[in-house]
Amino acid sequence: MTQQIHPTAYIGSDVTLGEGTFVGPFAVIESGAVLGGGCQVGAHAVVHGRVRMGAGNILHPHAVLGGLPQDLGFKPETATWLTVGDDNVFREGFTAHRATKENGETRIGSGCYFMNNSHVAHDCAIGDKTIFANNVAIGGHVEVGNNVFLGGAVVAHQFCRIGAFAIVQGTTGLNMDVIPFTLVGGRPARHYRLNTVGLRRAGITGERYNVLSQAFRLLRNKKTLEGLEETEELQFLKNWLAVKSKRGLHGFVDISAD
C-alpha cells in the first residue's frame, strides 16, 4: 500500500509514516512524529513532534495530538511524549497533550473513540475500547480504565481514577474516583448501581454478575468484600481498591430496596 499525501500538507523532517498512511489537505505532521501503517490524518489536523502512535488511527479535521501541556511551569524543551495505540478514532477538534515530566508520557490505548472537542490532558492514562462523548474534558494525571463510557460534557478533576467498565452520565462533574463496573451520575456525582448494560455486552453475566452485585452492595454499606466468590472481576475490583487514591471515592445513592 502506498502513502497518499496531499501536496498542501506539511511533513517535517525525520517523520516516520507507515505503509498506507493518508495525509489530507493542510495537515501538519511535525519532525520526529511516528505514525504506524494505515493511519489517516484529516484536513488541518496536527500531529506534533513528540507523538508515537500505532496503526490504523484516524484523525478527523482539526484534531491536534501532542500539544504542549497546559501547565504554567512546563518548559517546552522537556522531552515528553504522547503515546497512542492502534485503531483509535479522534473526531473533529479533539486534543491530547504530552506529559510534563522528563521522559514521561500521556498514554492512550487501542480501539478508543473520542468524539468532537473532547480533551485528554497531560500525564493521563486511557485504557482500551473507551469512549469519550462530545466535550468531555479530563484534567492532568487522570486514569481511565478499559471499556469506559463518559457521556457528553463530563469533566474530571486532576488525579481522579475512573475504573474499567464504568459509565458516567453526561454533564457529570467528577472530583473523586469512580469504582469499576459502576454507573455514576448526578450533581454531586454518586454511584447508582452496576453498569448492567455494559457488563452484559462484555459477557459478564450469571454468577459473575451476581458476585459484582453483592460486592457493590457491600461497598455501599461500607463492608468488606471478603467471603465472596473469587471471580476474575472481583479480584480486579479488589486490586483496584487496594491502590491508594489521591481523591477518595464518590459516595453512593441510598437505594434501600435495591
Q: Is 49 a catalytic residue?
A: no
What is the CB neighbour count within 10 angstroms for residue 32? 17
Q: Is 141 a catalytic residue?
A: no
Give Cβ neighbours of residue 21 (< 8 Å, ≥ 6 apart). Answer: 3, 4, 5, 35, 37, 38, 39, 40, 41
C-alpha cell at 61: 479535521
Distance CA 181, CA 203 (A): 13
Q: Is 118 exposed, middle or buried (0-12, 13-18, 19+ CB in 10 A)?
A: buried
The pLDDT score that the predictor gives to residue 174 is 98
The candidate with the shortest Cα–Cα distance to 45, out of 112, 90, 103, is 90
* CB environment 214-246: b (16+ within 10 A), e (fewer): ebbeebbeeeebeebeebebbebbeebbeeeee
Question: Tell me: the pLDDT tens digits for 88-107?
Answer: 999 999 999 999 999 999 99
**Catalytic hit among 44, 97, 122, 191:** 122
The pLDDT score that the predictor gives to residue 2 is 86
Segments in the chain below pLDDT 50: 256-258
How many Cα atoms within 13 Å fall on the side-chain side of residue 247? 20
Give Cβ neighbours of residue 86 (< 8 Å, ≥ 6 apart). Answer: 36, 54, 55, 56, 57, 110, 111
**Catalytic hit among 140, 145, 163, 198:** 140
Q: Is 258 a catalytic residue?
A: no
Question: Tell me: the pLDDT tens digits for 141-151?
Answer: 999 999 999 99
The pLDDT score that the predictor gives to residue 255 is 57
Tell me the domain boundaries of the chain. Answer: 10-141
The pLDDT score that the predictor gives to residue 81 is 98
Enter the DSSP assignment of 150: E
What is the CB neighbour count within 10 angstroms for residue 173? 14
The pLDDT score that the predictor gives to residue 166 is 98
**Catalytic hit among 86, 87, 123, 177:** 123
Q: Please check whether the domain covering 10-141 is classified as CATH 3.90.110.10.
A: no
